[in-house]
Amino acid sequence: MNVYDDIKKGERGAWISIAAYLVLSAFKLISGYLFASSALLADGFNNLTDIVASVAVLIGLKISRKPPDSDHAYGHFRAETVAALIASFIMAVVGIQVLVEAVSSFFEGSKGTPDLWSAGVAGLCAIAMFGVYKYNVRLARQINNQALMAAAKDNLSDAMVSIGAAIGIIGAQFGLPWLDTVAALGVGLLICKTAWEIFRDCTHSLTDGFDEQRLLDFRRTIARTPGVEGIKDVKARIHGNHVLVDVVVEVDPQLSVIEGHKISETIEERMVKYHNIMNVHVHVEPKDL
């Protein structure tokens, strides 16, 4: 299965998120009106905004499947990183909104006691969304897809929002309205933290940042390749769901072109075998006498 097939599998995860948000938001909004629960209504409207994040991820995945062209010689794989970045912005807005509403509700005081059934609806929706999260996070790790991982974290944050809503509703039943504020503050901070982590990882990738320890592992593998007498430079960058590596190695200046080419092929084979790196550009230079 090639990288484009993996991206197509990622699109399936995005579609599952969109379908789940559509069903659960409708369920929460209807139940919120029936059971007079403002927390459940807010959670339902929150899910409607999350559809935008999932659609952004879906569009990013579809663009990343486009083959290379004259303007994008390396393909369009970074579109999925841009999609994850957009998802982080939407998550940050939702997190800030949850925090603002929590503080507002604390000063406004209780607005009445919602039906206890609404807590059951919120809990059921949290379980369903957690199931979507588990599916997407497993698929994202399997295909190493940053955009789908962002969507999965968004799924988890929505499950947490529903749990917070359930805690607030239960607290209102027992005359403890402050539980709603505490739960909302915790959930809001968690969403903002997750959004920051996604934003940090995306910007690090888009600015060609790369893990130094992983780069050292690449260097060790290359240095142990027969015929390599020195390494002048090793660089790597993230391009969507795979890695591009550029390496400059030194070899015996008496070697023929064919022998130098063979060393380059061996390096490429070892990078595939030990690190699953499919895109390696090797430049061979003669070692100084």
| CATH code for the domain in which residue 13 is found | 1.20.1510.10
**How many domains is the chain partitioned into structurally?**
2
Do 47 and 63 lie in one domain? The reply is yes
Of 177, 206, 235, the last residue of a domain is 206
Of 176, 206, 236, the last residue of a domain is 206
Do 36 and 176 lie in one domain? The reply is yes
Mean pLDDT score, 78-95: 86
What was the pLDDT predicted at 253? 92
Do 201 and 241 lie in one domain? The reply is no
Of 161, 178, 206, the last residue of a domain is 206
Do 195 and 138 lie in one domain? The reply is yes
The count of other CB atoms within 10 Å of the CB of residue 255 is 17
Do 142 and 62 lie in one domain? The reply is yes
The length of the chain is 289
According to DSSP, residue 240 is labeled: T
Do 13 and 41 lie in one domain? The reply is yes
Mind listing the pLDDT tens digit for each residue in 216-269? 999 999 999 999 999 999 999 988 777 899 999 999 999 999 999 999 999 999
What was the pLDDT predicted at 160? 86
Domain that holds residue 244: 212-286
- CB contact at 8 A, 39 and 168: yes
SS3 120: helix
What was the pLDDT predicted at 195? 87
Among 98-107, 232-241, 269-278, where is mean pLDDT lowest? 98-107
Question: Any idea what the CATH number is for the domain that residue 235 is in?
Answer: 3.30.70.1350
What was the pLDDT predicted at 109? 62
HSE at residue 199, side-chain half, CA atoms within 13 A, is 13
Do 91 and 36 lie in one domain? The reply is yes
The residues with which 211 forms a beta bridge, in sequence order, are none
pLDDT confidence tier of residue 1, bands split at 50, 70 and 90: very low
Do 29 and 154 lie in one domain? The reply is yes
What was the pLDDT predicted at 87? 86
HSE at residue 137, side-chain half, CA atoms within 13 A, is 12
